[in-house]
Amino acid sequence: MNCKSVRSIVVSLLVLVGFTSCVSKGSKSTEKECKEAILLVTFGSSYKGPEATFRNIEEEFVKAYPGVEIQWAFTSRIIRKILHKRGVGPYKDVNAPEDALLKLKNEGYQRIAVQSLHLIPGTEYNDLKGKVEAFQKANPQLTLSLGVPLMFSDQDMTKLANILVHKFAKSDRTVVMMGHGSVHDANDRYERIGEIFKALDSTFVVGTVEAKPDIQDVVEEVAKLPSKNILLLPLMSVAGDHATNDMAGEEEDSWKSVLDRHHYTVYPLLEGLCDYDEVVGIFIAHLQTSMKITEKRCCKK
């Protein structure tokens, strides 16, 4: 048995404790087992590529929580509208988080473990947090928990950086990673993980498409490094619109085009972070932590 298989078994045994311990203990006649579900919440995407990434995420959660109901919610109203109008595909009926919570309640679920699949604790995550808290307040008979985003703490970012350095570091190239960026204070995560990368491997450079550091900052950083070869990656959960167009597109303002004009040989890789099982494992650990916080009041009568 290889190390990955052993690790998967150990993780599954540990995380199952949070769900299987959720039983109201009384006499034999009154003992009642909870009906439990996991709600995975992401921004969403209307592109086909991310569907495989979403499947990978779900498969990893299924391995960790076998037999537990798993449903999805997308926070983007625009994405939901596109998918509903399209009317085909696995996420054509996907709900907003508040509607997904109501659906699970109506289906009789007593414990709902919500996991944010956002990268930073910015606007999208905080809006989700408010909705989960409001739903819990309106439904005190239920037990809800909320797992934090991928890059919540410096410890999280160090884990992520180690995974990516181990996966992509090579002596003859620079690795440039495009994040989304935000006007929210949590945008500081991109600068912080950039510093973590520098400490681990100076050939990794981080920028964002909608905030700072931007592509010009990236160009300045790349110019300090010796290699003229660049591996271009999305620092995003999935490789959707931004990765396909803003990062790897042929338009003159795409990151690939900008770096091409600076005489680099650029190799875009359209894979999201959640295509990598080790990264999904960070989200699973966050879910486990959030469930422990609510364990004492789980499924109270």
Please give the positions annotated as active site: 180
Cβ contact 190:252 at 8 Å: no
Sequence-ordered list of residues with C-beta below 8 angstroms from that of 276, at least 6 positions apart, any chain = 163, 167
Angle at the Cα of 242 from the Cα atoms of 213 and 39, rounded to 5 degrees: 105
> Helix, strand, or coil here: 73?
strand
Pull the structure tokens for residue 145. 């928990």
Beta strand 174-179 with 204-208 is: parallel
Report which DSSP code applies to 180: -
Peptide bond into 213 cis (omega under 30): yes
Compute φ and ψ for 4, nearest 5 degrees: -65, -40
Cβ contact 95:79 at 8 Å: no
> Helix, strand, or coil here: 36?
strand
Place of tokens 């990598």: 276
Measure Cα distances from 205 to 1, 30, 51 in Å: 36, 58, 27
Pull the structure tokens for residue 110. 């007593």
> Helix, strand, or coil here: 38?
strand
Return the amino acid letter for 187. Answer: N
